[in-house]
Amino acid sequence: MTLHRLIFVALLGVFLAPAIPADLHLALHGEPKTLDPWLAADESADAIAYLTEGVLIRVNRYTQQMEPELAASWKTSPDGKRIVFQLRQGVKFPDGSPFTSEDVVRSFERMLDPALHSPTADTFKTEHGAVKVHAEGTYSVIADFPAPTASIERLFDQVAIVSAKAAQRPAPGLGPFVIDERRPGVSIRLRRNPLYWKSSLPRVDGVVFDIEQNRDLEYLRFRRGELDLIEKLSPELFDRLAKEMPGAAIDAGPTLDSEFLWFNESQRGDIPDAKREWFQSAAFRRAISLAINRADLSRVVYRGHASPAAGLESPANKLWFNTALKPDPFDPAAATNELSRDGFRLDKGVLRDRHGNPVEFSIITNAGSKTREQMATMIQQDLGKVGVKVTIVTLDFPSLIERISRNMNYEACLLGLTNVDADPSEMMNVLLSSASNHPWNPSQKTPATPWEAEIDRLMLAQAATAGYHARKTSFDRVQEILHQQEPVIYLLHPNALVAVSPRLAGAKPAVFLPHTFWNAEELTIAPGRQGGAQ
């Protein structure tokens, strides 16, 4: 065989070689509690919903500007009570059925059904009632609010639009990807939606989420080229990666997220009466807050990639943060005095309540999070100095969610809150006493305390007000009440610490979740990247 024939055969082999799918690989730190987008309440479920569901309007995570998605355009009435959507035509669901106004109307009906208890539905509540959605023709939808509603367009970023006709639940959505395979406890693979309305996207064949709670193993797999992105790096691993792979570790800056501790004040759950009495005491909660060294948590655990918190809002949220608030100082003496005024006393280094019971409780947090485990240990040490005994219990994430939202079988919890938008209305599903995500006492039929009733009133009022200054006054007062009552002890605001593979093009890390894959449909993988490992 001549040289020319050898070259021809070699080239023929290249052209005939089967294409190797280019999937984006990353990890989820826990099994999604649900794949129903209207019930998503954890980061894993939110991640899947973000990539598989279509929304009318999307808030760009990088620019924070609103962008048209399933709605080609929209118009808001001057009084802030109505928004009219003109839907995109020619959009199809993965089963080939056309997307119409009927799908939008039915999606809202299902999401707002009180029997569903959708966290997203709380965002559409006002003190005057809920939104009413109806169609006008095949491609026009009108949403009427019972009162002027602030930032009305931004509310629709979280509402998944699903098929009114599909029998499957949850039905495939209108996002860039569809669920291809789920291996519980192992992985979830998404494949490109072949009927995605952005015809040239996505640029990758799919997204593979491995269920990986071990952050060290996630880091090693990223270093080996098996993962393309890390959504959240621990500060220790961030500093390590910055040295080992310059350019791959990115500190995107202060987030609006928070890490916090709260006590179970619900009447549900098997909690001794004495402990329930402590947890419901504002003086006890304030004392615990004063006994925790936030500056040390930020400096030691987060290696300076975080800042002490004064409340639920981060100072990075310049429009809505109450600048009059300051983080509680680390002051064990003041904590002891506060406890004394509430009937507690130190007895040979052990704090006892007015009935002589030793003060001790357990803190649950999610296993696999080194930062939270370290924070829990430092809190344990801090509280030990004022005579409080703390036991730390780590749980896999689904079990933790089960305890704090279903059976209420816990005493205190150390967890975090991720904000997907800066607007206060996005906090409705956390701050309203009736909300299922209300941390310390969820799903109340009526507010358990006068101050919770005031928060309800203020949050509903700001959501029904169009003017910024009036809303700011209401939300400033909400932050003030939370700071005084401390039902949640806000500890710190972390920076967005992420990892991006040098083989990946188009990544623009943002301070809002998802930090790295918010534009997954636009990401590309360099040639030579084959199925994750290489």
- Do the domain assignments include residue 248? no
Average pLDDT, the chain: 90
Helices 282-290 and 332-341: crossing angle, nearest 10°?
Answer: 170
Q: What distance in Å separates the CA atoms of residue 429 and residue 369, rounded to the nearest whole number?
A: 25
- Are residues 377 and 265 part of one domain? yes
- Are residues 343 and 206 part of one domain? no
Write the CATH number for 490: 3.10.105.10
Q: What distance in Å separates the CA atoms of residue 26 and residue 215, rounded to the nearest whole number?
A: 12
CA distances from 351 to 158, 336, 354, 365, 390 (A): 46, 9, 10, 24, 12
- Are residues 382 and 325 part of one domain? yes
Q: Which residues have C-beta within 8 Å of that of residue 381, sequence separation ≥ 6?
A: none
- Do the domain assignments include residue 10? no
Q: What distance in Å separates the CA atoms of residue 239 and residue 259, rounded to the nearest whole number?
A: 20
Domain end among 158, 183, 208 = 158
CA distances from 513 to 233, 265, 484, 495, 529 (A): 13, 29, 29, 12, 26
Q: What distance in Å separates the CA atoms of residue 409 and residue 269, rounded to the nearest whole number?
A: 5
- Are residues 444 and 397 part of one domain? yes
Residue of 421, 467, 406 whose CA lies nearest to 159: 421
Residue of 113, 92, 114 whose CA lies nearest to 103: 92
Q: What distance in Å separates the CA atoms of residue 170 and residue 391, rounded to the nearest whole number?
A: 39
- Do the domain assignments include residue 506? yes
Percent of the residues in the chain that have a pLDDT greater than 70, as a whole number: 94
Write the CATH number for 519: 3.40.190.10
Q: What distance in Å separates the CA atoms of residue 299 and residue 303, rounded to the nearest whole number?
A: 5
- Are residues 433 and 291 part of one domain? yes
pTM: 0.77
**pLDDT tens column, 13-62:** 344 444 444 999 999 998 998 999 989 888 899 999 999 999 999 999 88
- Are residues 183 and 139 part of one domain? no
- Do the domain assignments include residue 240? no
- Do the domain assignments include residue 385? yes
Domain end among 112, 131, 158 = 158
> DSSP 3-state assignment of 286?
helix
Q: Is the pLDDT of residue 526 over 60?
A: yes
What average pLDDT does this structure show over 485-498?
Answer: 97
- Are residues 447 and 319 part of one domain? yes
- Are residues 437 and 523 part of one domain? no
- Are residues 80 and 209 part of one domain? no
Taken as a whole, the chain contains a residue count of 534
Q: Residue 194: is the preceding peptide bond cis (ω within 30°)?
A: no
Give residue 500's region: left, alpha or beta (phi > 0; psi -120 to 50).
beta
How many domains, in total, are found in the chain? 3
What average pLDDT does this structure show over 307-323?
Answer: 92
Q: What distance in Å separates the CA atoms of residue 488 and residue 253, rounded to the nearest whole number?
A: 24
- Do the domain assignments include residue 475? yes
- Cβ neighbour number for residue 315 with a 10 Å cutoff: 16
Domain end among 102, 129, 158 = 158
Report pLDDT for 150. Answer: 75
Lowest mean pLDDT among 82-86, 383-387, 484-488, 509-513: 509-513
- Are residues 438 and 471 part of one domain? yes
SS3 content of the chain, % helix, strand, coil (to 5): 30, 25, 45
Report pLDDT for 15. Answer: 41
Task: Give the residue numbers spanning the domain of 470.
Answer: 258-494
- Are residues 120 and 185 part of one domain? no
Q: Which residues of 469-486 are buried (b: 16+ CB within 10 A; e: fewer)?
A: eebbebbbbbbebbbebb
Write the CATH number for 126: 3.90.76.10
What average pLDDT does this structure show over 452-477?
Answer: 91
- Do the domain assignments include residue 249? no
- Do the domain assignments include residue 449? yes
- Are residues 457 and 322 part of one domain? yes
